[in-house]
Amino acid sequence: MAPQSQARRYRQISRVLARHGLGFFISVTGLERFVPFQRIFNRGYEQPVTRPEHVRRALEELGPTFIKLGQILSTRADLLPPAYQVELAKLQDAAPPLKAETVTSIIEAEFGRPVDAVFTAFEPVPLAAASIGQVHGATLADGTPVVVKVQRPGVVEQIDQDLNVLRNLAATASRRWSVAEEYDVIGLVHEFAHTLRAETDYIQEGRNAERFSANFAGDESVHFPQVFWEQTTNRVLTLERIAGIKIDDLAALDDAGFDRRRVAMSGARMVLKMVFRDRFFHADPHPGNFFIEPGERIGVVDFGMVGSVGPRIQQQLVWALLAYISEEPDRQVDALYELGVAGRHIDRAALKRDVAHLRARYFGRPVGEIAIRPVVNDVLGVVRRHRLHLPTGYALLLKTVLMHESLVSRLDPSFEFTAVLVPYARGMMARHFSPLGWGRSVGQAGIDLARLGVELPQQLRRLLSSLERGDTEFAIRPSGFDPFLRRLERIANRVVLGIVAAAFVVALAVLLSAYHVRSDPQIGAVLIIGFVLASVLGLYVAWSILRSGRP
């Protein structure tokens, strides 16, 4: 996008944040220059609305990218307090539908022929409309009913611009706010960008659907739609139409005579197979993406957001489970460090006490008596109290399991999700410690050891040569001084500007006393210019003090 357009976007973001009294975010993201007087004119924002509501409203005003950011943040219990999670969960990814002429023009441009040459029937009224695309019903030449997902024009460009803005804001916030650096907001934005861009890639979404179909081949309890590649492009995705009852329409399920407990069991097994066996899971499990077809088969739609459990994550989860089974709090804390949850500046003794209390609360109880959500809420309470954070991959996995647990609990409140989960977790551990698993690990370790043996002499020779030449330098960088130094630098700049402004005023006073302004217009003009410069400098010093919020 053009630079001018991006500048307008920065200005829009700044004004929305200022209007909702979120001046702190304006300060830490470096947006003060776009709303220089926001501290003066936005102190009286609407008080009856809570701060979480203001955040939600601001995200809604800023459009699709920020709405999706809020939706993802609503699932990050390690980052946000419960009040913000509840409020951001209300964000809806809805948008006014495109006109039928716009949709048909997109399809014709993608396939190079009229719509009726691609589909024998096409429904102009969309089945659903969201911020990235909308879905229409259609029929293929052989009579197969399908759904056609059409991407909105310009949405990719708008998302790219917003993601670039978010990256810049995250970088500034990390420099200005220690909490932002500690929680790696740059990494969070990178993860969000990867997730959002995947939702705009319809070719990849089609491949995801086919991968799920292959993973569940022969399983009659789950149905993934067929992809019709001849009617699919980067901006148009054509899938087999899933017909059924929405999984949260309990009255309709009862009227159809479906056994909700059996459906809940099928749903639980589906997600646990994805996570623990296939290591590739559907990461957007809200009720609108699941339908119950005849025969109590679960039909699944929308494959833009997926997640994967890599070998490294699986290995870490195995060792975390083993640490939990042990009776050694030190080993359990070590597992948190190994997971990457606990970073710098953590009070290990206090964390060890909280982990021990948490384990004592649940250890020894029958599996069926333990519900996942209370356990996770207690764990995340410890996470927030010690300012821990979940690394990339774990948050999405946790969100997926919790949302599925909520779905099956809604179908059958007495369903024991944990009792189904434990055998899958044990199976993962058994596979990890099986002879085949150990053989793979030993083989990989042998390869790494051989590589180290080959490269180590050369690396040591380079290091010794560098030491002999005196090229090696050791730098010591004390942590914790950067905010103080930045503050000191700002104070010094203001003092210098104040001195310069005062010097201008004194000089003007001397010149006024020495010259007759009325008799010499040129001297008068010089004095007026000097007065203007002194005023500008003085106003800038005052504005910078107001901007910082400190005297």
pLDDT score of 479 more than 90: no
What mean pLDDT comes out for the span 225-245?
Answer: 94
Please identify which residue in the block is written with the tokens 């989960």: 421
For residues 11 and 5, what is the distance between their CA atoms, to the nearest angstrom? 10
Structure tokens at 29: 């993201």
Distance of CA 504 to the CA centre of its chain: 51
Tell me what pLDDT residue 549 has: 45
What mean pLDDT comes out for the span 214-240?
Answer: 94
What mean pLDDT comes out for the span 449-455?
Answer: 75
Q: What are phi and psi of 440, to 5 degrees?
A: -65, -45
Please identify which residue in the block is written with the tokens 């055998």: 423
Residue 52 pLDDT grade (very low, low, confident, very high; cuts 50, 70, 90): confident
80-98 pLDDT, tens per residue? 777 888 888 787 666 788 8
What mean pLDDT comes out for the span 447-475?
Answer: 74
Tell me what pLDDT residue 517 has: 54
Residue 259 pLDDT grade (very low, low, confident, very high; cuts 50, 70, 90): very high
pLDDT score of 233 more than 80: yes
Highest mean pLDDT out of 160-169, 383-392, 522-531 = 160-169
Its sign, for the CA torsion 8, 9, 11, 15, is positive
* More confident call, 83 vs 180: 83
113-165 pLDDT, tens per residue? 999 999 999 999 999 888 888 999 999 999 999 999 999 998 888 888 889 98
Q: In whole angstroms, how far apart are CA 153 and each of 105, 121, 205? A: 10, 23, 18
Residue 43 pLDDT grade (very low, low, confident, very high; cuts 50, 70, 90): very low
Tell me what pLDDT residue 74 has: 79
What mean pLDDT comes out for the span 254-274?
Answer: 91
Any idea what DSSP says for residue 114? -
pLDDT score of 25 more than 70: yes
pLDDT score of 238 more than 70: yes
- Determine what percent of the chain is predicted with pLDDT higher than 70: 72
Tell me what pLDDT residue 93 has: 65
Task: Look at residues 510, 505, 512 and name the one whose alpha carbon lies nearest to residue 537.
Answer: 505
What mean pLDDT comes out for the span 168-195?
Answer: 81
HEC letters along 217-254: CCCCCEECCCECHHHCCCCEEEEECCCCEECCCHHHHH
For residues 138 and 249, what is the distance between their CA atoms, to the nearest angstrom? 25
Distance of CA 128 to the CA centre of its chain: 24
Could you state, in order of their start, the residue ranges of all structural domains in the chain?
Answer: 3-93+157-197, 247-459, 492-548
Any idea what DSSP says for residue 520? -
Task: Look at residues 223, 267, 257, 245 and name the one whose alpha carbon lies nearest to residue 409.
Answer: 267
Using DSSP's 3-state secondary structure scheme, residue 393 falls into coil
Inter-residue contact 266 to 298 (CB < 8 Å): yes
Q: Which of 154-163, 205-214, 294-303, 446-455 has the lowest mean pLDDT?
A: 446-455
Task: Look at residues 394, 421, 398, 370 and name the one whose alpha carbon lies nearest to residue 267.
Answer: 421
pLDDT score of 327 more than 90: no
Inter-residue contact 357 to 306 (CB < 8 Å): no
What is the chain's mean pLDDT, rounded? 78
pLDDT score of 451 more than 70: yes
Structure tokens at 359: 């384990």
pLDDT score of 14 more than 70: yes
What mean pLDDT comes out for the span 458-462?
Answer: 78
Angle between helices 3-19 and 155-176 (to 10 degrees): 60
Q: Which of 108-117, 267-276, 379-388 has the lowest mean pLDDT?
A: 379-388
What mean pLDDT comes out for the span 421-447?
Answer: 66
pLDDT score of 282 more than 60: yes
Tell me what pLDDT residue 363 has: 64
pLDDT score of 3 more than 50: no
Inter-residue contact 146 to 240 (CB < 8 Å): yes
pLDDT score of 406 more than 60: yes
Any idea what DSSP says for residue 78? T
* More confident call, 228 vs 356: 228
What mean pLDDT comes out for the span 453-459?
Answer: 77
Tell me what pLDDT residue 270 has: 93
Tell me what pLDDT residue 4 has: 44
What mean pLDDT comes out for the span 504-532?
Answer: 65
Residue 266 pLDDT grade (very low, low, confident, very high; cuts 50, 70, 90): very high
Tell me what pLDDT residue 421 has: 75
- Pairing mode, if any, of strands 222-223 and 297-300? parallel
Q: In whole angstroms, how far apart are CA 307 and each of 183, 198, 205, 281, 407? A: 21, 11, 12, 5, 19
Residue 432 pLDDT grade (very low, low, confident, very high; cuts 50, 70, 90): low
For residues 359 and 207, what is the distance between their CA atoms, to the nearest angstrom? 42
Q: Which of 277-291, 427-441, 489-503 has the lowest mean pLDDT?
A: 427-441
For residues 85 and 474, what is the distance between their CA atoms, to the nearest angstrom? 45
Q: Up-side HSE of residue 408: CA atoms within 13 Å toward CB?
A: 29
What mean pLDDT comes out for the span 189-217?
Answer: 91
Inter-residue contact 173 to 189 (CB < 8 Å): no
For residues 233 and 150, what is the distance between their CA atoms, to the nearest angstrom? 10
Q: In whole angstroms, how far apart are CA 177 and each of 22, 171, 479? A: 15, 10, 14
Residue 44 pLDDT grade (very low, low, confident, very high; cuts 50, 70, 90): very low
Inter-residue contact 403 to 274 (CB < 8 Å): no
Q: Which of 166-175, 222-231, 269-278, 472-481 has the lowest mean pLDDT?
A: 472-481
Tell me what pLDDT residue 189 has: 86
Tell me what pLDDT residue 542 has: 65
Please identify which residue in the block is written with the tokens 């569940």: 216
What mean pLDDT comes out for the span 411-436?
Answer: 73
Its sign, for the CA torsion 163, 164, 169, 170, is positive
Tell me what pLDDT residue 213 has: 95
Tell me what pLDDT residue 431 has: 65
Number of H helices, E strands in the chain: 23, 11
Tell me what pLDDT residue 40 has: 42
For residues 254 and 247, what is the distance between their CA atoms, to the nearest angstrom? 11
Inter-residue contact 62 to 13 (CB < 8 Å): yes
- Residue 47 CB neighbour total at 10 angstroms: 7
Structure tokens at 121: 């029937």
Q: Which of 11-25, 28-42, 265-279, 336-350 has the lowest mean pLDDT?
A: 28-42
Q: What sections of 79-184 are H helices per DSSP?
A: 82-88, 100-111, 115-118, 155-176, 178-182
Task: Look at residues 26, 44, 172 and name the one whose alpha carbon lies nearest to residue 548.
Answer: 26
Residue 484 pLDDT grade (very low, low, confident, very high; cuts 50, 70, 90): low
pLDDT score of 37 more than 60: no
